[in-house]
Amino acid sequence: MTQISFGLPSLLLGLAPIVIPGTGDYRPMPIHVSEAQAAEEAAVIAAQIRKQGFVCDRPLRAEAERERSKPNEAVWVLKCQNATYRVRLIPKRAADVERID
């Protein structure tokens, strides 16, 4: 049986583990969140990329990219006032960040 751990950081970022029927595969799926929670997600991801030297003047929104995400590797598109980034969050590692605008 495949085991997966979605701790508090995943839940704070609006993800919950689900099992894809018939496959036993786990995928992060968005939890419906309020506007305030969505703003907090963007702020958390922006803080992470800033620690890694990227500039995010003002985080506007963060959207999960389910098709690019894997178990324990959530992918988000972070829209900041000055730039847009694709961010792959991997536990116990620096985020993989790509500027996409």
- pLDDT bin (cut points 50, 70, 90) of residue 7 is very low
Sequence ranges of the domains in the chain: 8-99
Q: How far apart are CA 63 and CA 85, in angstroms?
A: 11
pLDDT value of position 80: 97
Q: How far apart are CA 72 and CA 42, in angstroms?
A: 19
Token pair, residue 71, equals 């178990």
pLDDT value of position 35: 81
Residue 24 pLDDT greater than 80, yes or no: no
The mean predicted confidence, pLDDT, of the chain is 80
